[in-house]
């Protein structure tokens, strides 16, 4: 069995408070928080997972496939980008996804389980295969000061070893 691990990161700055664009994180809408400054919905969790998958598959999703879907076809839903990323894994099967979020807002604590469930649903894995931690950042970075949110994702896969003749 071949085990691989990919890491990905994404971050976005918030739009002004007056914006009508929703804040979407892990496919969930976070009320009372402005949306992200991004061409797409700006879902930092799905984007970070896409980047982790790109590091496993060698196929650039964000900046390539997602840009074409967004700019050419008008598709701004990051779940679509993640589903495209998963296709690039071939025989690799996702065994675990680990997420860490940094941001003063929104408050993540009460939504962690729902985020885990939605990531598991999209990736067709069990909720027990998704871990999420979050920190406020304590004001040490722009994210910790409430300017945006940063996400790191680690995706672990396994692939059966081909039998030798």
Note whether residue 94 is domain-resident. yes
The rounded distance, in Å, linking the Cα atoms of 16 and 142 is: 15
Number of structural domains, the chain? 1
Structural domain range at position 97: 2-159
Burial of 125: CB neighbours in 10 Å, binned 0-12, 13-18, 19+: middle
pTM recorded for the entire structure = 0.94
Note whether residue 142 is domain-resident. yes
The rounded distance, in Å, linking the Cα atoms of 19 and 111 is: 22
Taking a C-beta distance cutoff of 8 angstroms, is the pair 114, 28 a contact?
yes
136: domain CATH number? 3.30.1330.50
Note whether residue 164 is domain-resident. no
Taking a C-beta distance cutoff of 8 angstroms, is the pair 19, 158 a contact?
no
Note whether residue 28 is domain-resident. yes
Note whether residue 67 is domain-resident. yes
Note whether residue 165 is domain-resident. no
**Any idea which of 12-16, 76-80, 91-95 has the lowest mean pLDDT?**
76-80
Instruction: Say what the pLDDT of residue 160 is.
Output: 84
Note whether residue 122 is domain-resident. yes
pLDDT exceeds cutoff 80 at 163: no
pLDDT exceeds cutoff 70 at 165: no
List of residues 6+ apart from 131 with CB closer than 8 A: 96, 97, 98, 99, 116
- Span 13-56, pLDDT tens digits: 999 988 899 999 999 999 999 999 999 999 999 999 999 999 99
Note whether residue 51 is domain-resident. yes
């Amino acid at each position: 069995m071949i085990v691989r691990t990919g890491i990905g990161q994404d971050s976005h700055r918030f739009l002004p408070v007056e914006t009508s664009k929703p804040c979407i994180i892990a496919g969930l809408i976070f009320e009372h928080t402005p949306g992200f400054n991004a061409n797409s919905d700006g879902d930092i969790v799905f984007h970070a997972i896409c980047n982790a998958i790109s590091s496993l598959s060698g196929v650039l999703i964000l900046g390539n496939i997602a840009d074409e879907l967004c700019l050419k076809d008008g598709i701004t839903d990051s779940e679509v980008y993640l589903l495209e990323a998963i296709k690039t894994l071939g025989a690799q099967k996702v065994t675990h996804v680990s997420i860490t979020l940094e941001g003063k807002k929104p408050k993540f604590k009460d939504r962690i389980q729902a985020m885990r469930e939605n990531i598991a649903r999209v990736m067709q894995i069990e909720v027990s295969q998704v871990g999420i931690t979050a920190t406020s950042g304590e004001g040490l970075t722009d994210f910790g000061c409430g300017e945006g949110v940063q996400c790191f994702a680690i995706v672990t896969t396994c692939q059966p070893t081909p039998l030798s003749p």
